[in-house]
């Protein structure tokens, strides 16, 4: 009986690229390899696992049941490899190398850039990778080094710093109010052009439970992308929830029905194994300081 050889980690990387793109040529372009090389990687991985991973169809390469089973393990290998390279990139005593930060779309694109600019000005050898997505990345699996989260962490192996509350209010652009007026009650709000997600999320369900008058409200603009929703607000398309500290920076955004306010708890989280890493420690501290200052904008706006 012949034993199967241990697959190269490169094969799993190639496997994930083919899974994502559905073709050898597209995977080759992403990885900077030739198409024959990608094909050899897949063939070698199939030989190692003893099963076919893809079948050809008019839509491209479709994953087999075996490929679907292998996918999460390959993703774990990819995140572990990336974390290993980030750890190896830094010096024990010098702030250098790569740190990966996970944050929501809004926090990542609207709030963190000036904080990170100041951080990198102080530490020019520090490289930042920012994952701005509403998908929560797993710190225990080292998909990211540090995360800004809107929910308290449950895992014991994580270091967490509670930042405080970020408040959201209903806002409209002045150009919208000039065209359609300003609602003064929830009932009037229901008759206005509202901006919202195109699918019901846990956040939306919470809002409907807290404000049942919004049940059945018709959204005139929908998107599953937070930044698209905020750009629609700033373009005067309709009324939408917006973080109060961000709104305070734009004099054209007007608060609607100030009694309606949503509070989002905010945390900064890091794997406890990274607390001795200089690059992670200074980044964690910079995020704490920067986000505390950001929340102060919310408090100043509310006069507290």
Q: Three-state SS across the chain?
A: CCCCCCCCHHHHHHHHHHHHHCCHHHHHHHHCCCHHHHHHHHHHHHHHHCCCCEEEECCEEEECHHHHHHHHHHHHHHHHHHHHHHHHHCCCCCCCEEEEEEECHHHHHHHHHHHHHHHHHHCCCEEEEEEECCCCCCCCCCCCCEEEECCCCCCCCEEEEEEEEEEEEEEEEHHHHHHHCCCCCHHHHHCCCEEEECCCCHHHHHHHHHCHHHCCCCEEEEECCHHHHHHHHHCCCCEEEEEHHHHCCCCCEEEEEEEEEEEEEEEEEEEHHHCCCHHHHHHHHHHHHHHHHHHHHHHHHCCC
pLDDT tens column, 121-169: 999 999 999 888 877 655 556 678 898 988 777 766 678 889 998 988 9
Give a yes or no: residue 1 inside a domain. Answer: no
Percent of the chain with pLDDT over 90: 28
Same domain, 166 and 53: no
pLDDT for position 287: 95
7 or 249, greater pLDDT: 249
- Answer whether residue 223 shows pLDDT above 80: yes
Tell me what the mean pLDDT of segment 268-288 comes to: 88
pLDDT for position 50: 85
Same domain, 118 and 235: yes
**Pick from 38-47, 144-153, 179-188, 229-238: least confident:** 144-153
Same domain, 75 and 119: no
pLDDT for position 304: 41
Give a yes or no: residue 283 inside a domain. Answer: yes
Give a yes or no: residue 245 inside a domain. Answer: yes
pLDDT tens column, 62-95: 889 988 888 888 877 777 766 666 666 555 567 8
- Of 49, 81, 113, the residue that ends a domain is 81
pLDDT for position 243: 92
Same domain, 18 and 158: no
Question: Which domain, by its residues, includes 276?
Answer: 92-303
Give a yes or no: residue 4 inside a domain. Answer: no
Give a yes or no: residue 162 inside a domain. Answer: yes
- Of 22, 55, 81, the residue that ends a domain is 81
pLDDT tens column, 11-26: 888 888 888 888 888 8
Give a yes or no: residue 254 inside a domain. Answer: yes
Same domain, 111 and 69: no
Give a yes or no: residue 230 inside a domain. Answer: yes
**Pick from 47-56, 157-166, 198-207: least confident:** 198-207
Q: What is the CATH number of the domain that holds 102?
A: 3.40.190.290
Same domain, 20 and 124: no
Q: What is the CATH number of the domain that holds 77?
A: 1.10.10.10
pTM of the model: 0.64
Same domain, 132 and 205: yes
Same domain, 125 and 216: yes
Same domain, 19 and 39: yes
| Mean of all residue pLDDT scores within the chain | 82
Same domain, 148 and 276: yes
Same domain, 198 and 129: yes
Same domain, 39 and 139: no
Give a yes or no: residue 291 inside a domain. Answer: yes
Domain count, the chain: 2
- Of 81, 113, 145, the residue that ends a domain is 81
């Amino acid at each position: 009986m012949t034993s199967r050889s241990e697959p190269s980690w490169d094969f799993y990387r190639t496997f994930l690229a083919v899974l994502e793109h559905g073709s050898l040529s597209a995977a080759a372009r992403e990885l900077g390899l030739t198409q024959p090389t990608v094909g050899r990687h897949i063939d070698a991985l199939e030989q190692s696992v003893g099963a076919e991973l893809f079948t050809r169809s008019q839509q491209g390469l479709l994953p087999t049941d075996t490929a679907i089973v292998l996918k999460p393990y390959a993703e774990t290998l990819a995140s572990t490899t990336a974390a290993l390279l980030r750890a190896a990139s830094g010096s024990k005593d010098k702030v250098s190398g790569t740190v990966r930060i996970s944050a929501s779309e809004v926090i990542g694109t609207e709030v963190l850039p000036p904080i990170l600019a100041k951080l990198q000005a102080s530490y020019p050898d520090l490289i930042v990778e920012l994952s701005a997505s509403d998908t929560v990345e797993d710190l225990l699996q080292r998909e990211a080094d540090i995360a800004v989260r809107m929910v308290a962490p449950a895992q014991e192996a994580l270091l967490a710093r509670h930042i405080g509350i970020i408040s959201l209010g209903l806002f409209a652009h002045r150009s919208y109010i000039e065209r359609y007026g300003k609602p003064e009650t929830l009932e009037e709000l229901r008759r206005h052009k509202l901006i919202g997600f195109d699918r019901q999320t846990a956040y939306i369900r919470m809002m409907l439970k807290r404000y049942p008058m919004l049940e059945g409200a018709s959204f005139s603009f929908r998107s599953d992308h937070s930044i698209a929703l905020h750009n629609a607000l700033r373009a005067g398309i309709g009324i939408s929830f917006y973080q109060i500290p961000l709104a305070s920076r734009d004099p054209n955004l007007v608060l609607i029905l100030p009694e309606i306010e949503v509070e989002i708890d905010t945390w900064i989280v890091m794997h406890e194994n990274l607390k001795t890493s200089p690059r992670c420690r200074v980044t964690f501290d910079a995020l704490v300081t920067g986000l505390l200052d950001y929340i102060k904008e919310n408090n100043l706006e509310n006069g507290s």
